[in-house]
Structure 1
């Protein structure tokens, strides 16, 4: 029985949970597809821009940062700051 349990535990360790992938709509017509991983996220903007951002701890919600870009989310709401402007965003589709 022990070898079987060990085999199950080893297989479970190899299984990777797919990253969360959510779609947001922001004021001004910007769409943001967010692919999350434990250490950061990849943002794909409807403008065609792709950005890798690093996760930073905050008191409430999650904040991701990269040069010139901040993505902050809490629940179904988010905020994007880029190119000197910011826009509120809302979740429109989870796990796309």
Structure 2
């Protein structure tokens, strides 16, 4: 019984380390270009987007995406945050 308790203790200690060692997929480093009104974007897959849900007012956002040719791009634009001025 003591061996089982010891095993459980060791696993409980080491489990967070195993989870922490798993790395999130790396976002490719690309040059961020400023969005211009009317710019044509070839977005096949969104890879990452700034979370502005807890910000208010007009705030900068970055969208990282893969185009139909498989190339990765990033574009910066302004958007309304998720909090309205009445709630914030």
Tell me which interval the TM-score lies in, with the shorter structure as reference length. Answer: 0.3 to 0.5
Q: TM-score, normalised by structure 1?
A: 0.34
- Larger Rg over CA atoms: 2
Q: Which structure has more RCO (C-alpha within 8 Å, separation ≥ 6)?
A: 2
How high is the TM-score relative to the length of structure 2?
Answer: 0.36
